[in-house]
Amino acid sequence: MTSNDRTIQGASPDYARAHRVLVNEIPVIDLSGINDPAQRKDIGRQLVAAATQIGFFYVSGHGIASSLCSLAMQASRDFFTMPQQVKAGITVDQHQRGWMAQGLTNLEGAATHDAKEVFFWGRDVDADDPDVVAGLPLVHPNQWPDAKAPFLREAISPYYQAVMALGVKILECLALGLDGDPKIFTSAYDKPLGRGQLVYYPVLERADVEAERFGAAAHTDFGVLTVLLQDNLGGLQVLNSAGTWIEVAPIADTFVCNIGDLLELWTNGQLISTRHRVINRSPEARFSIPIFCDPASETIVNPRDFDRNADTEALPAVVAGAYIMGKNRANFSHYSKQDS
């Protein structure tokens, strides 16, 4: 069977149809004044408006150099073109660090696995770090492929640090927009989990279309805030409040941000975690870099932090790291393989 027999060039399968986004349905919010105390409250109100209506927004004027983004994206492309045996030397572990081959992500409710490869990393810690020794969920040394691909750590680490700092600023503004205390987030991000992924979505094959397979099946994000860098191919789709799937087209010099399940819980449902999915309909591979801006593993996520009248019996507080680890075990099949 030839490559042309197997692949769907520029596929637009019926199961992945979506509408073009309407003007302002997913707003572009200018963050250029985010360091000005006089402007932060207004930015916060814009962020909250988007986060309560659809849970997604673009951010411009974010202050992260385009060169830093380009280097990170190129490093991702270079990593995924490396031989499989090299990537297999850092196979993903139960701490969600390293390379995950295709076929290991089967999101809850999905009929089939996702068509993607992923490299996972987080905040750099040493093996003797007290939190690692204590076994805190998702706090563990990274698996950098330094021997074969030192460029990856060199490009990804500064990008990660810049995005995590931006994520905390966005959260502080969201707190202001909710008339809450920004210090709730500031104190929770002293030693953040800050999980990152490099994601490679290959060209769809006929078998993928026949299985109605997505690059990422419909899901909500597990954590607090996601900051996404996507390439120019498109493919991200969001389910709006009318129950319609809409396209989240790439916009130059912006990030796409969305609210995760933990932030919806933390704000007692004031901000919404929205279902979204990814389909690569291009004849080229698609790449993206989501950073999940999550707090320290032991952070207590309590709905009463932002709503003193929250019913914590109906919606109890959770511990961030343990909650996310539980979600990982339900969605990534390498856990069951390593447990057996």
Identify the pLDDT of residue 7: 47
Higher pLDDT, 189 or 106: 189
pLDDT at 209: 86
Per-residue pLDDT, 15? 67
- Using CA atoms, how far apart are residues 51 and 104, in angstroms rounded to an integer? 31
**For range 263-274, the mean pLDDT:** 97
The pLDDT assigned to 330 comes to 73
How far apart, in whole angstroms, are the C-alpha atoms of residue 315 and residue 23?
A: 35
- Give me the sign of the Cα torsion angle 174, 178, 183, 188: negative
Task: Quote the tokens at residue 33.
Answer: 């004044």
Res 8: pLDDT:
46
Mean pLDDT, the chain, rounded, equals 89
Percentage of the chain exceeding pLDDT 90: 74
Per-residue pLDDT of 168-205, as tens digits, reads 999 999 999 999 999 999 999 999 999 999 999 999 88
Residue 339 pLDDT: 47
pLDDT digits (tens, 9 = 90+) for 304-318: 999 999 998 988 999
Q: How many domains does the chain fold into?
A: 1
Query: In the structure encoding, which two tokens stand for residue 148, read together?
Result: 């074969």
Domain assignment of residue 54, given as a range: 3-339
Residue 11's nearest CA partner among 244, 201, 217 is 201
Give me the count of residues in the chain: 340
Inter-residue contact 248 to 240 (CB < 8 Å) = no
Per-residue burial over 293-323, b if 16 or more Cβ lie within 10 Å, else e, is: bbbbbbbebbbebbbeebeeeebeebebbeb
Q: What is the CATH number of the domain that holds 325?
A: 2.60.120.330
Whole-number pLDDT of residue 334: 59
pLDDT higher than threshold 70 for residue 109: no
- pLDDT of residue 71 exceeding 70, the answer is yes
What pLDDT digit, counting tens, does each position of 3-60 carry?
444 444 445 566 677 777 655 689 999 999 999 999 999 999 999 999 999 999 999 9
